[in-house]
């Protein structure tokens, strides 16, 4: 059994291999010290990424056992693993686990304190529940995709960060841990139905509140936080690279103007008047285009102007602040994000990515099986 140093040390998690949000949830739990056993399909190369020759960092810190869920003996191994687990994570379409005889009813009957976590896009119920989907569709249905992007452009999908990981895996982790607290206090397990549409909708709560009071317009690119405001936007520099500007408050806006050399300019449009935003954006665009990203960062670094360089994924680990905090780490020769959040007494650990079936013998021995 893996014994991590994090706050979840001693928690046993059984995860059925999948894509995206389910494995991400398992990674979060493993980072924080849980013993996560991943059930891989026998003969698999690690899913889509494995077939493409890649390695999924979402599986870091886990152990892998390769099984055939259509084989009676292997199903018995799965049931034995579930009987000793605190948390089970699965991301199949509704009904798949039931057809395998691994649904929540029999497993909770055998182990009443089990937390049975279910990760889907559409949820376990509703007219779309049995259909296929991906992140882009889930965030589209909740209104989150339509709220992002510029007024004169198509909505821009933020990779699969908003739905799969923000609205999906993160909420599954929250739900699993909340249910685990309940189970340890009462001995009563339960099913956690984590749907990406549910979690993504929750992420838009603040916007719905603003919409209800008239502080947000139901049009893309017309608001404070969606590139509508010129003092909360991204600007191209002389070298073609970009800076992010988020000078919302008056004092931060003043620092922005000082850095741009525009403080006290009587011809500068009034930022409090939305009708002047197009002209103000034109002015900012012209000024930012006069220097490179590095030159502007030399001006704004350490100030309260709320300006930051837009690093690429490859550039971000070299940023001095990220390096000083250890935001990224290197394990097995692969640079990757470190554990978050941080704990003063029980720090988490980034583990290695297992090969499919790497821990077969070890896990079977723990179960008393050869």
CA distance 131 to 310: 37
Any idea which fold 12-203+339-366 has?
Answer: Rossmann fold (3.40.50)
Can you give the pLDDT at residue 50? 53
For 321-363, the pLDDT digits (tens) are 999 999 999 999 999 999 999 999 999 999 999 999 999 999 9
Q: Any bridge partners for residue 336, and if so which?
A: 329
pLDDT-derived band at 174, boundaries 50, 70, 90: very high
Can you give the pLDDT at residue 52? 46
CB 174 within 8 A of CB 341: no
What is the value of pTM for the model shown?
0.94
CA distance 222 to 149: 10
Can you give the pLDDT at residue 82? 98
Can you give the pLDDT at residue 56? 87
- At 37, which helix (H) or strand (E)? strand 35-41
CA distance 195 to 29: 18
Taking Cα atoms as reference points, which of 22, 21, 6, 44 lies closest to residue 354? Answer: 44
What CATH architecture applies to the domain 232-318?
2-Layer Sandwich (3.30)
Rounded percentage of the chain residues whose pLDDT exceeds 70: 96
Q: Which two tokens stand for residue 87?
A: 């948390």
How far from each other are the two terminal CA atoms of the chain, in whole angstroms?
16
Apex CA 369: angle with CA 367 and CA 370, to 5°?
140
CA distances from 363 to 4, 46, 59, 321 (A): 17, 19, 17, 41
45 pLDDT exceeds 90? Answer: no
Which residue has 């073609």 as its token pair? 240
Q: Any bridge partners for residue 48, and if so which?
A: none
Can you give the pLDDT at residue 210? 97
Can you give the pLDDT at residue 73? 95
pLDDT-derived band at 5, boundaries 50, 70, 90: confident
Taking Cα atoms as reference points, which of 227, 225, 228, 196 lies closest to residue 210? Answer: 225
CB 206 within 8 A of CB 213: no
Concatenating the DSSP letter of every residue in 92-121 gives PPTTHHHHTT-SHHHHHHH-TT-EEEEEES
Can you give the pLDDT at residue 370? 60
| Domain residue ranges of the chain, discontinuous segments joined by + | 12-203+339-366, 232-318
CA distance 359 to 104: 26
51 pLDDT exceeds 70? Answer: no
Which sequence positions are flagged as catalytic?
Answer: 134, 164
CB 16 within 8 A of CB 39: yes
Can you give the pLDDT at residue 3? 62
Rounded percentage of the chain residues whose pLDDT exceeds 90: 92
CB 327 within 8 A of CB 338: yes
Mean pLDDT across 18-41: 96
pLDDT-derived band at 269, boundaries 50, 70, 90: very high
29 pLDDT exceeds 70? Answer: yes
> String of b and e for 216-246 (b: at least 16 CB within 10 Å)?
beeebbbbeebbbbbbbbebebeeebbbebb
For 177-197, the pLDDT digits (tens) are 999 999 999 999 999 999 999
Mean pLDDT of the chain: 95
CB 196 within 8 A of CB 45: no
Can you give the pLDDT at residue 92? 96
Question: Pairing between strand 328-331 and 334-337?
Answer: antiparallel
CA distance 293 to 239: 7
Can you give the pLDDT at residue 43? 79
The beta strands (E) that lie in 278-340 are given as: 307-309, 328-331, 334-337
pLDDT-derived band at 369, boundaries 50, 70, 90: confident
The beta strands (E) that lie in 219-297 are given as: 232-236, 242-246
């Amino acid at each position: 059994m893996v014994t991590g140093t994090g706050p979840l040390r001693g928690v046993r998690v059984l995860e059925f291999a999948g894509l995206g949000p389910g494995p991400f949830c398992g990674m979060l739990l493993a980072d924080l010290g849980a013993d996560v056993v991943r059930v891989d399909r026998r003969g698999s190369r690690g899913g889509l990424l494995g077939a493409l020759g890649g390695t999924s960092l979402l599986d870091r810190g886990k152990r892998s056992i390769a099984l055939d869920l259509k084989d009676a003996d292997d199903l018995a191994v799965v049931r034995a693993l579930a009987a000793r687990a605190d948390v089970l994570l699965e991301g199949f379409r509704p009904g798949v686990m039931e057809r395998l005889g691994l649904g929540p009813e029999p497993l909770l009957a055998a182990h009443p304190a089990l937390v049975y976590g279910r990760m889907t896009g559409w949820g376990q119920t509703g007219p779309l529940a049995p259909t296929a989907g991906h992140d882009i569709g889930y965030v589209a249905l909740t209104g989150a995709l339509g709220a992002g992007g510029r007024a004169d452009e198509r909505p821009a999908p933020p990779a699969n960060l908003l739905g799969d990981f923000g609205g999906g895996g993160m909420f599954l982790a929250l739900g699993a841990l909340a249910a685990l607290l309940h189970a340890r206090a009462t001995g009563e397990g339960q099913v956690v139905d984590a749907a990406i549409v549910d979690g993504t909708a929750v992420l838009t709560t603040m916007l719905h509140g603003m919409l209800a009071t008239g502080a947000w317009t139901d049009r893309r690119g017309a608001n404070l936080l969606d590139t509508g405001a010129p003092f909360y936007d991204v600007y191209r520099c002389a070298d073609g690279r970009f800076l992010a500007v988020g000078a919302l408050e008056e004092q931060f806006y003043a620092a922005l103007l000082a850095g741009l050399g525009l403080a006290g300019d009587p011809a500068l449009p009034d930022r409090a008047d939305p009708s002047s935003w197009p002209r103000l954006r034109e002015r900012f665009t012209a000024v930012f285009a006069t220097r490179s990203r590095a030159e502007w960062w030399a001006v704004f670094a350490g100030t309260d102007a709320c300006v930051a360089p837009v690093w690429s994924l490859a550039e971000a680990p070299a940023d001095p602040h990220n390096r000083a905090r250890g935001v990224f780490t290197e394990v097995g020769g692969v640079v990757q994000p470190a554990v978050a959040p941080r704990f003063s007494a029980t720090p988490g650990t980034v583990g290695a990515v297992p090969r499919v079936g790497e821990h077969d013998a070890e896990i079977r021995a723990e179960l008393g099986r050869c």
